[in-house]
Chains A and B, each alone.
Chain A
Amino acid sequence: MNKRTPKVVSEKPSKANIFSLLSPYRGMISLLVLFALLGNATNLVIPKIISHGIDSYGLGNFQYKLLITEFLIATLAIFIFTYIQSIFQTVASERVAKSLRSQVSEKISKQGFTFILKTNPSKLLTNLTSDMDSVKMFVSMAVVNIVSSIFMIFAIFTLLLILNWELALTVIAIVPIILGTFYIVLRKAKVLFKKSREVIDRLNKVINESILGSAIIRVLNSQQPEYDKFISANVEARDLGLSILRLFTILIPVIMFVANLAVVSILALGGHFVVISKMTLGDFAAFNSYLSMLIFPILMIGFMSNIIAQATASYNRIYDVLKSPDSVEKGTLIQKLEGKIELKNVSLLYDNKPVLRDISFTIEKKSRTAILGPTAAGKSQLLNLLTNLINTNTGTIEFDGNAINEYDKESFHSQIGLVFQDSVIFNMSLRENIAFSDKVTDESLKKAIETAELDDFIESLPQKLDTIVSERGTSLSGGQKQRIMLARALATNPQVLLLDDFTARVDRKTEKKILANIENNFPDLTLISVTQKVSSVKDFDLIILLMEGEMIAKGKHNELMDVCPEYVQIYNSQRSTQHYEL
């Protein structure tokens, strides 16, 4: 999908083996199988007790007490064994799922931002939900059924071989046919199962977009196109489901038929043996009754193969996530940032097209810098670089003389405050949204709220800071969200504050107040502000003008007015209203 992915992927022959999932749970799985076998074995005792009871009645030494005791003990034992088995079954499958989910989230949490963009959240969501379900099904049903089926098949075969090896070998002849059918069906199913998971990703995505875009969909009355997109994914899901169904509905009848064929051939062949007196009638009858016991376990394996195939497809997808390389954390430097920033010949490519070209500038500590430029000039990308969310393709970024990558990410990020252009609000209380870091003290929280001019707003809420904000912050106005984002960044007491178009949704009066508050409350701060408004940054120490990924000019306002016609153009475009803006 993404061209920037290095080609290491091809050298990954290690395929996921779903059975390896079980190894940490060996003990529990063995107990599970043990109790299943115990339950089955005790079940076989019941007919014995019944026939014994009837026989002893015929012989005249029948005792109610003995019969009832024996019977009740066996019954209770079966009850206990089956229930314990089912508990183990549930516990084992849920534990496997829980730990797999933890592993995946662990993995995701260690990844960089680019990983999430590349893998796309819809797929990760399927990984953590539907894919886990199939794995669970595998653990809870497939393992115990396969083990007891195989056990039964071997036991019955042994009995058959003892009874009559020639006939037994005839029965064994059906094994390759059954295995062959399995092989063909499962090989085809593997591809289909993989596809069917991918369709679920697509469904997730369409639903997701239709939810996040619900407002614009209603404004444009475009429910129909959304529905069309959904239908196409849903039709595909249905058709894949039907193809898978067709495959497996071949498998089961074929197995049944082949097994029944074995019954017929034994009837004919064994009958022949009896006719020529090579076999006694009693042995023949016994052979037949054992043979009929063989069909159920074979059929069970057929059903379970479906579950295994599905789980394998899912597990492979989960495994791919688990095996993706961790983002490399080379940085170890832990040091208090002074705030001097130097960019040397920085370039950035997105899908081989340059977003930033050969940018160099120096920002002094405790200074104020503005980045100006038209839409799509690369301003936000520059901020992403400065916060180490993404890496440069060429060139270096240095903080206090050390390359940005040398810093320990954790300590680095804790000293940088970034206010994103788009508001990211979590469905938690306002307090948690603002104090989005465990290092935030009550005092710094208070200072951040004051600086962002949020105290009036918070005071007006009945539950103050403990008000729960809805997902995507739908209960807040644009300006309120933006100020919450600012407070969140300030609450960590950053050394460097980066504002991405912060003023866009805040009125002029509030903006002025906030900028003044920042100067007063955070005097040591190095401030970098991406903005459109010249008037707010006239007195800044440095103004950088970006256009189409290139730095056109840098300097103070007055200098740029003298040397840079593009800057003058921007200035003029805003001048007509300047006299209102004090």
Chain B
Amino acid sequence: MNYNLNQANEQVQKKKSTFSVLMKLFAFISDERKNLILAYVAILINAGLSLLGPFMVGYTIDHYVSNKDYHGILLFSGILILLYITAFFSNLIQMRLMGSIGQRMLYRLRNALFTKLQDLPVDFFNQNKAGDLISRINNDTDKVNQFFSQSLMQFLGSIFTMFGSAIFLLSIDLPLGSAALVPALLVLIFTRILSPWIKRLNTANLKSTGSLSSEIQESLNNFKVIIAFNRRDYFRKRFEEVNNDNYKTALKAGIANNIFQAVYGLAANVAQLIVLALGIYLISMGHFSLGLLISFIAYVTNFYNPLRQLASLWASFQVALAAWDRISQILNMESNLLIQNDAYKDITASFVSLRDVSFTYPNGKEVLYDVNIELEKGKTYAFVGPTGGGKTTTASLLARLYDSTKGSILLDGKDIRSYSAEERSQKIGFILQEPFLFTGTVRDNIIYGNTEYKKLSNGHLDNAIHESGLETLLERFDHGLDTKLQTSSDEISLGQKQLIAFMRAVLRKPELLILDEATANIDTVTEHLLDNILKKLPTSTTRVIIAHRLNTIETADEIFFVNSGQVTPAGSLEHAVNMLLHGKRES
């Protein structure tokens, strides 16, 4: 399955109309309807009041100041103060409502994205860059929010006023009104033609921001190598490249976005000119009056001012649309690891059985071919074989990190695809080749994802640790359970990380425990301790051990030799060693 966001769904997006995109976005604020209506009412009141204020001032001047009626002046001043107090509140309510709707939408968008990320399989993360994903969750959602919280109401308000003014213009004088609207029509066509291009430029810019973010992410996480290989220049060069690219795309998008502003202004002025010239012509023909022309010009301004506002809003709308595309690319992804409703149970099958399993990676490389193995309850199995032979892939299939391309895997007689994620992770423990720690304490890490132990106090946890025989391992950490850990830290060694991953898996007491070179960087003395801990697991536990060190696997009940897509029983340890030494390396 193709999960690469930068290659996927380019065709899909094009089909979607702007309107349907907007509707999808509105889904994120669907339960804000009351607030939206309230905000809109506040906007209308506010707009009305801001027109009424100057009008009342003019009225006071015309009627009272010019008549030197000081009482009237004071009366109207009082009314004005009341009016401005009302305006103060409507203004406050409008800004607050719209802003908070925007903030909540941002919050929901980010949540939706993150939830989607959690639903997607490992494959998705293998095919996309961390920095780009972060950029989509943080940067792109913010672009959508900016449009929504700052511009949407203005946008709707402007369209509303424009329509009103247009009808007004046409009703006063149809020919002159239509002429006045011609530039607006041209601008509309211009906008329609240009918008896809402008959106493309903005998409390019957001994409480049994503690559910038990926580059930073990759370089900073691998900074050790950059220093040790003295490739600071390389870091600078690579960064300069993406930086330059970002500059160029941003410049293009920015200059394109600004076209609207200037063109809309031009249209407004041309409309005035048309009205003036045509109006004077009409007057000379006796169809129109001078006074009417003067007010008509003012009404034209009423139409074109909101249009100018729309110009700048339209640009931020295009940015938001481009950002939304990138967001919806993630939201449209579906996990290919669905849970099947398959109640069929093969009671004759052993605990784990692989039936005609083949696996091909998305890049087309076939790793496993027609594998058939049976694993029984309570036994220990070892997978040996050269690097790149398919051991880790086999283990990953057992834990359903991927689905096999052909064939099926049965766990306890049932297809592994029919287990819920909870059930599966309860039954299967998998210590990955590269241990990963979360920022937090050792305690946080060893009970990570363990619902049973989550609520235990330190004392009870100590007991559980003691029962499993893990306490000697905790001594390797300065502050025991409370030792602080960082994901990107070098303060603890790979061996220590493996110890934590080991404790994490053992504490869960899984029925099937897979160790993928789980102890590769742990010294052999400690490894004996780990062996003893494994022996303390319930006798029904099935263990699958992948290792290069032979002493790790000598106690196995059965050894499988994994190479060139085949998993074959090796018989004895000696035979396995022979195969290892004399077989041709696949990689």
Cα A568 to Cα B142 in complex, Å, equals 62
A253 to chain B, nearest CB (A): 4
* Complex contact B428–A105 (CB within 8 A): no
Q: Mark B272-301, 1 if CB is under 8 A from A, else 0.
A: 110011001001000000100110010000
Q: Mark B520-535, 1 if CB is under 8 A from A, else 0.
A: 1111111110000000
A sample of 13 cross-chain residue pairs with beta-carbon separation below 8 angstroms, ordered by A number, consists of A57-B283, A82-B262, A117-B489, A252-B95, A268-B77, A379-B493, A413-B228, A421-B493, A424-B222, A427-B214, A475-B126, A475-B361, A573-B528
Cα A110 to Cα B550 in complex, Å, equals 45
* Complex contact A479–B220 (CB within 8 A): no
Which 9 residue pairs are nearest across A and B when measured between Cβ atoms? A479-B387, A222-B449, A375-B495, A90-B254, A86-B258, A220-B449, A221-B425, A121-B220, A271-B73
Cα A422 to Cα B263 in complex, Å, equals 57
* Complex contact A102–B243 (CB within 8 A): yes
B346 close to A (CB within 8 Å)? no
B73 to chain A, nearest CB (A): 4
* Complex contact A222–B448 (CB within 8 A): yes
Cα A546 to Cα B263 in complex, Å, equals 75
Assuming the A-B contacts A223-B118, A230-B114, A510-B386, are A488 and B293 also in contact, with contact meaning beta carbons closer than 8 angstroms in the complex?
no
What is the number of residues of chain B that contact chain A, defined by CB distance less than 8 Å? Answer: 175
Chain B CB within 10 Å, residue with most, of A275, A482, A570: A275
A397 to chain B, nearest CB (A): 16
Q: Which residues of A contact B501 (CB under 8 A)?
A: 216
The A interface, classified by DSSP as helix, strand, loop or mixed, is: helix
A17 close to B (CB within 8 Å)? no
Tell me the B220-235 residues at the A interface (CB within 8 Å). 220-225, 227-235
Cα A98 to Cα B243 in complex, Å, equals 7
Cα A248 to Cα B401 in complex, Å, equals 48
A539 close to B (CB within 8 Å)? no
- Name the segment of B8-16, B244-252, B352-360, B460-468 touching the other chain: B244-252
Choice from A263, A456, A471, A475 contacting B129 with Cβ under 8 Å: A471
Q: Mark A188-213, 1 if CB is under 8 A from B, else 0.
A: 00000000000010011101111111
Q: Which residue of A lies closest to B226 (CB)?
A: A109
Interface bracket on A: 35 or more
* Complex contact A413–B227 (CB within 8 A): yes
Q: Mark A388-417, 1 if CB is under 8 A from B, else 0.
A: 010000000000000000000110011010
Q: Which residues of A contact B499 (CB under 8 A)?
A: 375
Apart from the given pairs A97-B250, A506-B548, 20 other A-B contacts in the complex at a CB distance below 8 Å: A50-B276, A57-B280, A64-B280, A72-B273, A91-B251, A108-B220, A210-B118, A220-B449, A220-B504, A223-B118, A238-B107, A263-B57, A268-B77, A421-B494, A453-B585, A477-B389, A478-B517, A480-B388, A507-B387, A576-B554
Q: Which residues of B contact A95 (CB under 8 A)?
A: 247
Assuming the A-B contacts A221-B424, A237-B107, A274-B68, are A507 and B493 also in contact, with contact meaning beta carbons closer than 8 angstroms in the complex?
no
* Complex contact B134–A208 (CB within 8 A): yes
Q: Which residues of A contact B61 (CB under 8 A)?
A: 267, 281, 284-285, 288
* Complex contact A510–B138 (CB within 8 A): no
* Complex contact B70–A212 (CB within 8 A): no
* Complex contact A215–B401 (CB within 8 A): yes
Choice from A75, A79, A426 contacting B218 with Cβ under 8 Å: A426
Assuming the A-B contacts A261-B84, A373-B523, A375-B493, are A121 and B488 also in contact, with contact meaning beta carbons closer than 8 angstroms in the complex?
yes
Q: Which residues of B contact A253 (CB under 8 A)?
A: 87-89, 91-92, 95
Q: Which residue of A lies closest to B552 (CB)?
A: A577
Assuming the A-B contacts A209-B487, A422-B494, are A90 and B261 also in contact, with contact meaning beta carbons closer than 8 angstroms in the complex?
no
Q: Which residues of B contact A82 (CB under 8 A)?
A: 261-262, 265
B110 to chain A, nearest CB (A): 5
Choice from B232, B361, B424, B429 contacting A110 with Cβ under 8 Å: B232
Q: Which residue of A lies closest to B126 (CB)?
A: A474
A110 to chain B, nearest CB (A): 7
A69 to chain B, nearest CB (A): 11
A248 to chain B, nearest CB (A): 8
Assuming the A-B contacts A82-B265, A87-B258, A257-B84, are A501 and B225 also in contact, with contact meaning beta carbons closer than 8 angstroms in the complex?
no
Cα A569 to Cα B89 in complex, Å, equals 81
A371 to chain B, nearest CB (A): 11
Choice from A248, A492, A569 contacting B525 with Cβ under 8 Å: A569
Choice from A53, A54, A275, A389 contacting B227 with Cβ under 8 Å: A389
Q: Which residues of B contact A508 (CB under 8 A)?
A: 548, 550, 580-581
Q: Which residue of A lies closest to B110 (CB)?
A: A234
B413 close to A (CB within 8 Å)? no
Cα A72 to Cα B573 in complex, Å, equals 93
B438 close to A (CB within 8 Å)? yes
B418 close to A (CB within 8 Å)? no
Chain B CB within 10 Å, residue with most, of A220, A235, A288, A573: A220
* Complex contact B224–A113 (CB within 8 A): yes
Tell me the B119-158 residues at the A interface (CB within 8 Å). 119, 121-122, 124-127, 129-131, 133-135, 137-139, 142
B308 to chain A, nearest CB (A): 10
Q: Which residues of B contact A102 (CB under 8 A)?
A: 239-240, 243
Cα A203 to Cα B136 in complex, Å, equals 12
Assuming the A-B contacts A113-B223, A219-B401, A506-B548, are A375 and B496 also in contact, with contact meaning beta carbons closer than 8 angstroms in the complex?
yes
- Name the segment of B17-25, B98-106, B174-182 touching the other chain: B98-106
* Complex contact B523–A125 (CB within 8 A): no
Cα A125 to Cα B132 in complex, Å, equals 11
Tell me the A62-115 residues at the B interface (CB within 8 Å). 62, 64, 67-68, 71-72, 74-75, 78-79, 82-83, 86-87, 89-91, 93-95, 97-98, 101-102, 105-106, 108-110, 112-113
Assuming the A-B contacts A267-B57, A532-B521, are A208 and B217 also in contact, with contact meaning beta carbons closer than 8 angstroms in the complex?
yes
A46 close to B (CB within 8 Å)? yes
Assuming the A-B contacts A105-B239, A573-B527, are A479 and B587 also in contact, with contact meaning beta carbons closer than 8 angstroms in the complex?
yes
Assuming the A-B contacts A90-B251, A422-B434, are A75 and B448 also in contact, with contact meaning beta carbons closer than 8 angstroms in the complex?
no
A581 close to B (CB within 8 Å)? yes
Q: Which residues of A contact B103 (CB under 8 A)?
A: 238, 241-242, 245
Q: Which residue of A lies closest to B266 (CB)?
A: A79
* Complex contact B87–A260 (CB within 8 A): yes
A124 close to B (CB within 8 Å)? yes
Assuming the A-B contacts A94-B247, A210-B117, A223-B118, are A492 and B130 also in contact, with contact meaning beta carbons closer than 8 angstroms in the complex?
no
Assuming the A-B contacts A105-B243, A576-B554, are A271 and B388 also in contact, with contact meaning beta carbons closer than 8 angstroms in the complex?
no
B272 to chain A, nearest CB (A): 7
* Complex contact A83–B262 (CB within 8 A): yes
Q: Which residues of A contact B137 (CB under 8 A)?
A: 203, 207
B81 close to A (CB within 8 Å)? yes
Cα A438 to Cα B234 in complex, Å, equals 9
Tell me the A557-580 residues at the B interface (CB within 8 Å). 569-570, 573-574, 576-577, 580
B372 close to A (CB within 8 Å)? no
Choice from B89, B135, B209, B425 contacting A219 with Cβ under 8 Å: B425
A444 to chain B, nearest CB (A): 14
B404 close to A (CB within 8 Å)? no
Q: Which residues of A contact B70 (CB under 8 A)?
A: 271-272, 275
* Complex contact B139–A130 (CB within 8 A): yes
* Complex contact A504–B236 (CB within 8 A): no
Cα A387 to Cα B388 in complex, Å, equals 30
